[in-house]
Amino acid sequence: MSKLQDKVIIITGASSGIGKSLAEEAMKKGMRTVLAARNTGAMEQYTSEKNWDPNRFLIVKTDVSVEQDCRELINQTAKKFGAIDVLVNNAGISMRALFSDMELSVIKKLMDVNFWGTVYCTHYAMPWLLKSKGSVVGVSSIAGYRGLPARTGYSASKFAMQGFLESLRTENLKTGLHVLVACPGFTASNIRKTALVKDGTAQGESPRNEHAMMQPQTVAAHILKAVEKRKRTLVLTTQGKITVWLNKWFPAWTDKLVYNHIASEPDSPFK
């Protein structure tokens, strides 16, 4: 039996990708699962297809960039299950454009979703998480360790998330709260198709080979295993681990490697 059996988990961005896979993995482990996202239709469809027991899950329409939505997510969870044990801040958006070409509203939108969404949800969940000595999880990125060119807003939002969570962990050294920063590396998901370009519209087709990347089901399993073990950090994929290590010891060389890697993407902003 999993240590997470019957625990209450909230997953933001649960309509697709890593969030959807986290919900499926949580239900397999016998968790009581709250699925939060703007696209309720997608969540309703796959929970119906899985024939999940409605007493074991809850769907809440949530735009994490809206503070009131995050407060309502926590309130509805507490009302149905009477507890919160794990909060996974997974909702996020990306971008792909050079800073010199980009409208500033793009960076604001990324900060509102990726950073403020994490802050809002965590703030309102804190009383419940402190009571349960539970877990706060931030699904970040290698871009939270290493700034990526043409991803200035995305990198900034993930650095901000990781700084917030590191501070939160230190504040709560003696309360029993567990904080995990999970950095999946490149994962097959919708995030690149919905990534914003310089004018704030979605780029559409991903410039990368999604089939060659780590699959979201694998990422979800790693994240919940890290929650069970109450790990501090999780860095996934060989490429991700190498990038973090190189950036720590050889930052100037890593600048060149990262530049060349992004410049080699199909339809790169550098071309």
- Is the CB of residue 71 less than 8 Å from the CB of residue 124? yes
H or E element that contains 58: strand 57-61
AA letter at 132: S
Q: In whole angstroms, what is the distance from residue 92 CA to residue 264 CA?
A: 25
Give dist(CA 166, CA 179) in Å, integer: 8
Domain that residue 52 falls in: 8-237
If you ran DSSP here, which 8-state letter would residue 146 be given?
A: S
Count the alpha carbons within 13 Å of 72 in the hemisphere toward its beta carbon.
13
pLDDT category of residue 193 using cuts at 50, 70 and 90? confident
Average pLDDT over residues 92-106: 96
124 is known as an active-site residue? no
Cα–Cα dist 247/232, whole Å: 20
Beta bridge partners of 12: 36
In a domain, 256, yes or no: no
* pLDDT, mean of residues 168-195: 88
User: Is 234 in a helix, a strand, or coil?
Assistant: strand
The reported pLDDT for the residue numbered 203 is 82
> Quick check: is 231 in a domain?
yes
Give the pLDDT band of residue 201 (cuts 50, 70, 90). Answer: very high
Catalytic residue among 120, 124, 154, 259: 154
10 Å CB burial of residue 251 (0-12, 13-18, 19+) is exposed
User: What pLDDT, in 10s, does the model give residues 215-241?
Assistant: 999 999 999 999 999 999 999 999 999
Q: Is residue 252 part of a domain?
A: no
| pLDDT grade for 211, boundaries at 50, 70 and 90 | low
- On whether residue 264 sits in a domain, the answer given is no
CATH (domain of 85):
3.40.50.720
Provide the whole-model pTM: 0.94
DSSP classification of residue 15: T
Name, in order, each residue with C-beta under 8 angstroms of 107's C-beta and a sequence gap of 6 or more: 95, 152, 153, 156
* Number of folded domains that form the chain: 1
What is residue 8's predicted lDDT score, i.e. its pLDDT?
Answer: 98
- Distance, in Å, from the CA atom of 187 to the CA atom of 223, rounded to the nearest integer, reads 13
Query: Which residue's entry shows tokens 């309720």?
Result: 40
Q: What is the DSSP secondary structure assignment for residue 150, as one 8-state letter?
A: T
- Residue 248, domain member (yes or no): no
In which residue are the tokens 């071309």 written?
A: 271
How much of the chain exceeds pLDDT 70, in percent?
95
C-alpha to C-alpha distance for 118 and 162, rounded to whole angstroms: 10
Residue 226 is assigned to a structural domain of this protein: yes
Listed residue (157, 182, 65) closest to 117, CA to CA: 65
Contact 183, 141 (CB under 8 A): yes
Q: What is the 3-state secondary structure (H, E, C) of 122-145?
A: HHHHHHHHHHHCCEEEEECCHHHC
**In this structure, is residue 91 part of a structural domain?**
yes
CB atoms within 10 A of CB 169: 16
Mean residue pLDDT of the chain comes to 94
Residue 253 and residue 175: Cα distance in Å, rounded?
A: 41
Report strand pairing: 86-89 vs 57-61.
unpaired
- 258 within domain boundaries: no
pLDDT tens, position by position, 112-123: 999 999 999 999
Report d(CA 223, CA 54) in Å as an integer.
24
